[in-house]
Amino acid sequence: MFAPRSRAPRIAALAVAAVLALAVGLWLGGHPSWLPSPVRSAFVRQSSSDKLVNQVMGLLSKDYYRPVNTNQLVNKGLAAAVASLDDPYSHYYDPSDYQSFQDETNPHLSGIGIDVDTTPQGLRVVDVFAGSPAAKAGLERGDVITDVGSESLANRSSDFSADLIKGRAGTKVTLIVQQGRHRRIVSLVRANLTVPVASGRILDYRGTKLGYVELTSFTAGSGGEVLSQVDKVLHGGARGLILDLRENGGGLLEEAVNTASIFIPDGTIVSTDGRSQPREVYMAKGGAISPKIPMVVLVDRGTASAAEIVTGALQDRGRAKVVGTHTYGKGVFQEIQPLPNGGALDFTVGEYFTPDGHNLGGGGVRQGAGITPNIYAYTNPRSSTDTALTVAERTVASELR
């Protein structure tokens, strides 16, 4: 049983947040150059508050009972102001957070070339990038990294553990790796890497070659990566295609259009509409593969945003059958506006619609039902068999007969 928490701390915290948001809002009214253009005009209209802004900030910085970090006040106030929108997709990043965000979404980094999950023993390897130092050292999916140098990773956070492994290209790192019942010491030299977001391979389904292409996110250039993988499996003899977008949380709208255009020869991919920008229709860019190649899209509840745009386009245009579960149900898109202080505003600017005019959200920024699959299939994460993939294979192979 949980004891009810006192409301007083929450009310006090909300009051402080409100004051911070008000103070920062007023201060920004006198300093509109700090704001992205869509927001700037709203504050500029409040020019009558300029004196009040300067007075409030001046009093806080001069007469408050202890020294005030003005930058910190602004950052916390901006974060509170954006949070007050009740929009789970809009965020203010202070300079430090924005740098971390850019590092996470940057496909170019230095390290050993692995993707990991946290376990009580350390870090479990879930993927090893081809050609990376980790691959050359024989690390495999399922291995557990228990120590980095003399530092144990047991019960450590993923950030702490990952930071020990990361480092400049050319520097060395020593790992203790548990492979089944065996432990071994692995010494690696970190390298500059490009993290792949698309991968492909040939599947043999009862004697029929099928191409399997997985896309994990829609980052810059991901459409080109998908095209490269599609060409690879087709040249390898694949007669049908499976595009796996499970757990793909989305990314860049432009890359969604580029990816859908690989499979859809012409016509509408997606349309967008926003309060400060006119309705825009994004069309297929041409150069698609043959529409006679049957295709399935694999999705789950983690398929969201740009991944739903691609799935919706392929389904609405009759280009592919959708196999899996309902997708996430996000119907809005965001823009990132860098700010002069080194931070950024990542905020919702409009809604998007599939070719048939459907918005997948639940109205505004609320989560909706998402895309309904043509064929329902679910893989239990505890199962050793990928049930949904088997259904996808069977589905696309049936269209070849």
> Are residues 188 and 298 located together in one domain of the fold?
no
First-residue to last-residue Cα distance in the chain? 58
- Range in 19-33, 107-121, 205-219, 372-386 with the lowest mean pLDDT: 19-33
> Are residues 215 and 296 located together in one domain of the fold?
yes
In a domain, 92, yes or no: no
The pLDDT assigned to 14 comes to 39
In a domain, 94, yes or no: no
The pLDDT assigned to 58 comes to 82
Chain position carrying tokens 């009862």: 206
- Domain end position, chosen among 194, 226, 253: 194
**pLDDT tens profile 189-241:** 999 887 788 999 999 999 999 999 999 999 989 999 999 999 999 999 999 99
Residue 346 pLDDT grade (very low, low, confident, very high; cuts 50, 70, 90): very high
> Are residues 281 and 379 located together in one domain of the fold?
yes
Number of domains in the chain: 3
pTM of structure: 0.74
Nearest to 282 by CA among 250, 311, 258, 298: 258
Contact by Cβ (8 Å): 187, 165: no
Please report, for the domain that includes residue 181, its CATH number. Answer: 2.30.42.10
In a domain, 145, yes or no: yes
- Range in 2-16, 173-187, 307-321, 359-373 with the lowest mean pLDDT: 2-16
Contact by Cβ (8 Å): 22, 55: no
User: What is the arithmetic mean of pLDDT over 38-46?
Assistant: 49
**pLDDT tens profile 113-165:** 888 888 899 999 988 888 899 999 999 988 999 999 999 999 898 888 888 99
> Are residues 37 and 168 located together in one domain of the fold?
no
> Are residues 75 and 134 located together in one domain of the fold?
no
- CB proximity list for 189: less than 8 A, separation 6 or greater: 133, 170, 171, 172
Locate 302 and state its tokens.
């983690």
In a domain, 99, yes or no: no
Residue 37 pLDDT grade (very low, low, confident, very high; cuts 50, 70, 90): low
Checking if the pLDDT of 8 tops 80, the result is no
> Are residues 42 and 25 located together in one domain of the fold?
yes
> Are residues 179 and 116 located together in one domain of the fold?
yes
In a domain, 102, yes or no: no
Query: Is residue 224 exposed (0-12), middle (13-18) or buried (19+ Cβ within 10 Å)?
Result: middle
- Domain end position, chosen among 194, 224, 250: 194
Residue 13 pLDDT grade (very low, low, confident, very high; cuts 50, 70, 90): very low
In a domain, 121, yes or no: yes
Residue 48 pLDDT grade (very low, low, confident, very high; cuts 50, 70, 90): low
> Are residues 129 and 266 located together in one domain of the fold?
no
Residue 323 pLDDT grade (very low, low, confident, very high; cuts 50, 70, 90): very high
What's the rounded Cα separation, in Å, for the pair 253 and 256? 5
In a domain, 286, yes or no: yes
Of all residues in the chain, the percent with pLDDT exceeding 70 is 86
Contact by Cβ (8 Å): 74, 57: no
In a domain, 98, yes or no: no
Helix (H, G, I), strand (E, B) or coil at 43: helix
> Are residues 392 and 314 located together in one domain of the fold?
yes
> Are residues 182 and 202 located together in one domain of the fold?
no
Residues of the domain holding 185: 108-194
CB atoms within 10 A of CB 55: 12
Contact by Cβ (8 Å): 353, 271: yes
- Domain end position, chosen among 159, 194, 229: 194
- Range in 11-20, 278-287, 341-350, 373-382 with the lowest mean pLDDT: 11-20
Pick the residue with more confidence: 150 or 14?
Answer: 150
Nearest to 374 by CA among 298, 290, 313, 302: 298
User: What is the arithmetic mean of pLDDT over 175-192?
Assistant: 92
> Are residues 231 and 362 located together in one domain of the fold?
yes
Please report, for the domain that includes residue 335, its CATH number. Answer: 3.90.226.10
- Range in 251-265, 293-307, 373-387 with the lowest mean pLDDT: 373-387
User: What is the arithmetic mean of pLDDT over 304-313?
Assistant: 98
- Range in 39-48, 62-71, 161-170, 272-281 with the lowest mean pLDDT: 39-48
**pLDDT tens profile 242-299:** 999 999 999 999 999 999 999 999 999 999 999 988 899 999 999 999 999 999 999 9
Q: What is the DSSP string of 133-192?
A: HHHHTT--TT-EEEEETTEE-TT--HHHHHHHH---TT-EEEEEEEETTEEEEEEEE-EE
The pLDDT assigned to 22 comes to 44
Checking if the pLDDT of 54 tops 60, the result is yes
What's the rounded Cα separation, in Å, for the pair 147 and 101? 27
> Are residues 157 and 239 located together in one domain of the fold?
no
